[in-house]
Amino acid sequence: MNVSKNNIYYTNVDFTLLKGDSFKLLKKIDFKSIDMIFADPPYFLSSGGMSCKSGKQVSVNKGEWDVTKTIEDKIKYHRNWIKLCRDVLTDNGTIWISATLHSIYAIGVALEMEGFSIINNIIWQKPNPAPNLACRCFTHSTETIIWARKQLNAKKKGKHYFDYSSMKKENEGKQMKDVWYFEDEEDVWKIPTTPKNEKKEGYHPTQKPIKLLTRIITASTKENDVVLDPFNGSGTTGIVCKLLNRKYIGIDISEEFLEITKKRYEVNNAKI
């Protein structure tokens, strides 16, 4: 990487956090050096609405970075960072992008416009979603995660890695489907929203659970592969990379969230 010392917020062996604008720092990462990317970009749903948290009515506004955009601006925004990610991704590497209905369709369009071929459209169905306060539509209980690979030319696609056997073993000997939901609350593979014990080092409004990233990273990477998260947030991608022996680079403009990630890393590192 060709980044300045000012951009390196924290580094320890194969775990690196970069502070700054992803649109600038992605240009500093070596061309075709990343094996897998997980991205959880802004959902653009902060429009003054209300939601429910712990039984209380709260604002859905998450910050200036999440303010609602027009569809044209959404597509432009996503095309810009996806193009930069394509440059640093190996030809056989893959990208996972998580979003809600507020931006997932713009992301899908942007991916194809920037030379990606979609492998799967994962539906993560949450067994414990926030209730619908307005009672004017169905309760939102899912997030979509697109898994895509490079379209190298009109006829050739990247040869992506998929740990089929691990996914089949996890699913009790059956092929893993693209809807991730487990009804039994005692099921070890249930993927609920992020539990409280994963938020002890600090709060991030869109933090993903370790179980979700464990499945994604196990399915699409090998040990010692390099994983990038251009919207690091509270660092769940990096924590799972440490647990699974992958190398990690996380980028975020917020020192607050990078500090949460650092604390989470040091706590989990002490346990290993």
Residue pLDDT tens, the chain, 272 long: 889 889 999 999 899 999 999 999 999 999 999 999 999 999 887 555 544 454 455 445 555 655 777 899 999 999 999 999 999 999 999 999 999 998 999 999 999 999 999 999 999 998 778 888 888 999 988 999 999 999 999 899 999 999 999 999 999 999 999 999 855 445 555 566 777 777 777 777 788 999 999 999 999 999 999 999 999 999 999 999 999 999 999 999 999 999 999 999 998 877 65
Per-domain boundaries in the chain: 5-271
Other CB atoms closer than 10 Å to residue 257's CB: what's the count? Answer: 22
Is the separation of the CB atoms in 6 and 24 below 8 Å?
Answer: no
Confirm or reject CATH 3.40.50.150 for domain 5-271, answering yes or no. Answer: yes
Pairing outcome for strands 8-12 and 15-19? antiparallel
pTM: 0.88
Cα 92 from Cα 160, distance rounded (Å): 5
Which H or E run includes 159? none
Residues 63-100 as b/e (b if ≥16 CB within 10 A, e otherwise) read eeebebbeeeebbebbbebbebbbebbbeebbbbbbbe
26 near 81, Cβ under 8 Å?
yes
DSSP 8-state class, residue 134: S
> Torsion over CA of 36, 177, 187 and 38, rounded to 10 degrees?
20
